[in-house]
């Protein structure tokens, strides 16, 4: 496939993108990536694959999606780990994450949603309205999920901006009734995907899809475990980038690339090599997911002399935790196993939600973290509300916590830097 810029611009024009605004976005993204990632020292050599993916994230990968569509496959976009990639793959679809991690088009978005809406929602509206997200432009179906009231109501409007939209209801309690609701929603989504693809959900394709996604999650779990080493063999920024790219890349190719990184990191651990010295203050980020290119807080943390060793987030440990047991001889049995796995996700939508606090504490122990930074987007009520109980729970066990509410903009960088530097000094004792 050609990576010629002229060819890419023709492709972007064909997709209906606003070329001038898209050029501005790519220029800003490229500059931010250079400053954030390529200035790091002693990066694993295997990170070159992920650097390449980012350099072609709107180029080669979009061409792959268009090639898949030309071959009769359907592209399904989503914003959340509750949308089961296994079902999409089982029906020969391609699952991709959609653009929602940058402050772009917010003025246009605020013509549709209140100014006091979380940055993630305003972001996906802005990308759509400004016509700068090629992933959205390639989709045959967008699946939304009611993981908060903001998304639930925003989707009523957003659904009219895309070719085809499907909304999933979500349980709010870890109860038998909640599980039954999730099971019913997965069944309805499967019927929607069958209608989209013209295929029937069958046992062997579903079992194979479960295996593909399990392999991806297992590779990410291996990466997460290697971050327990001291000195840290990989920066938090690079580990976050890998988790972010999981939502965009071909799953089998991505899994191989993650395993290559892990092989290199195991060698570093055996030799006692790290990207930072042994004894560097170690931090877990807990809270809202961070989509590309939302790297502001982890960049500040690591510039302050600490290392992020884990993300208690949907773009991180919460999204990769637990595999699907591929046991069963019928579609119904495999669907039960799928629900078993997804129902364990401890999103802040659930109430009560002690599992999330317990998982954060378990991560803090296993990764030998000195403290936790709770990260929430402004106006994200579920995570902002849980931040208080998270802080009380962890501080009662003598785990230092810093609560941060922020957005995608740069206006608060100075304030955040001051607070984070003070927190890192606290961790140094």
Percent of the chain predicted with pLDDT > 70: 99
- What DSSP state is assigned to residue 349? T
What is the domain partition of the chain in residue ranges? 207-323+347-428
- Record: fold of 207-323+347-428: Rossmann fold (3.40.50)
Residue 106 dihedral angles phi and psi, to the nearest 5°: -65, -35
Hey, which residues does 310 pair with through a beta bridge? 284
pLDDT in tens, 115-163: 999 999 999 999 999 999 999 999 999 999 999 999 999 999 999 999 9
- CA distance readout (Å), 233 to 272, 319, 382: 8, 22, 33
Nearest to 143 by CA among 181, 93, 103, 183: 93
pLDDT grade for 5, boundaries at 50, 70 and 90: low
Bridge-based pairing state of the strands 282-287 and 165-168: unpaired
Give every CB contact of residue 62 below 8 A, 6+ residues apart in sequence: 11, 15, 134, 135, 138
Whether 80 and 291 have beta carbons less than 8 Å apart is answered as: no
Is residue 6 pLDDT above 80, yes or no? no
Predicted structure pTM score: 0.97
- In which band, very low, low, confident or very high, does the pLDDT at 293 lie, cut at 50, 70 and 90? very high
How would DSSP label each residue in 167-202?
EE---SSSSHHHHHHHHHHHHHHHHHHHHHHT----
Between helix 251-271 and helix 203-226 the angle, nearest 10°, is 30
Q: What is the per-residue pLDDT across 313-352, written as a single tens digit (0 to 9) for each?
A: 999 999 999 999 999 999 999 999 999 999 999 999 999 9
Q: What angle do CA 188, 348, 193 make, to 5 degrees?
A: 20
pLDDT over threshold 90, residue 3: no
Q: What is the pLDDT of residue 1?
A: 33
Nearest to 359 by CA among 398, 407, 324, 322: 322
On the question of pLDDT at 34 being above 70, the answer is: yes
The pLDDT score that the predictor gives to residue 2 is 38
The answer, yes or no, to whether residue 408 has pLDDT greater than 50, is: yes
- Looking at residue 4, its pLDDT comes to 65
Whether residue 394 contacts residue 401, with contact meaning beta carbons closer than 8 Å, is answered with: yes
CB hemisphere CA count around 404 (13 angstroms): 28
Confidence at residue 142, expressed as pLDDT on a 0 to 100 scale: 98
pLDDT in the model for residue 240? 98
């Amino acid at each position: 496939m050609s990576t010629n810029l002229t060819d890419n611009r023709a492709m972007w024009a064909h997709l209906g993108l606003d070329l001038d605004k898209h050029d501005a976005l790519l220029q800003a993204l490229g500059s931010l990536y250079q400053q954030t990632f390529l200035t790091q020292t002693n990066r694993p050599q295997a990170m070159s694959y992920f650097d390449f993916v980012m350099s072609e994230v709107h180029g080669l990968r979009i061409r792959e999606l268009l090639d898949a569509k030309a071959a009769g496959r359907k592209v399904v976009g989503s914003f959340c780990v509750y949308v089961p990639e296994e079902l999409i793959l089982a029906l020969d679809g391609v699952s991709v994450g959609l653009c929602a991690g940058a402050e772009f088009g917010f003025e246009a978005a605020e013509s549709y949603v209140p100014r006091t809406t979380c940055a993630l929602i305003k972001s996906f509206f802005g990308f759509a309205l400004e016509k700068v997200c090629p992933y959205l432009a390639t989709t045959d179906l967008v699946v939304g999920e009611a993981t908060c009231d903001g998304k639930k109501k925003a989707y009523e409007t957003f659904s009219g901006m895309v070719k085809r939209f499907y909304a999933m209801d979500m349980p709010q309690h870890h109860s038998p009734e909640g599980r039954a609701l999730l099971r019913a929603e997965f069944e309805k989504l499967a019927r929607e995907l069958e209608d989209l693809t013209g295929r029937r959900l069958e046992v062997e394709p579903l079992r194979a899809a479960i295996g593909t996604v399990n392999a991806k999650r297992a590779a990410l779990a291996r990466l997460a475990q290697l971050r327990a080493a001291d000195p840290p063999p990989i920066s938090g920024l690079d580990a976050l980038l890998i988790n972010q790219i999981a939502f965009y890349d071909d799953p089998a190719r991505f899994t191989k690339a993650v395993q290559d990184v892990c092989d290199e990191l195991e060698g570093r651990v055996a030799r006692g090599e790290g990207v930072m010295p042994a004894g560097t203050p170690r931090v877990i980020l807990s809270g809202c997911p961070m989509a590309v290119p939302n790297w502001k807080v982890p960049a500040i943390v690591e510039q302050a002399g600490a290392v992020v060793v884990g993300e208690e987030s949907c773009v991180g440990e919460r999204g990769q935790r637990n595999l699907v047991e591929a046991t069963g001889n019928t579609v119904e049995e495999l669907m039960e196993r799928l629900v078993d796995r997804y129902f364990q996700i401890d999103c802040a939508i659930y109430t009560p939600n002690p599992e999330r606090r317990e998982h954060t504490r378990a991560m803090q122990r296993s990764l030998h973290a000195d403290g936790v930074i709770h990260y929430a987007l402004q106006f994200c009520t579920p995570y902002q509300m849980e931040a208080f109980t998270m802080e009380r729970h962890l501080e009662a066990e003598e785990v230092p916590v810093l609560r941060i509410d922020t957005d995608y903009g740069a206006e608060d960088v100075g304030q955040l830097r001051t607070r984070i530097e003070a927190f890192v000094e606290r961790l140094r004792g």
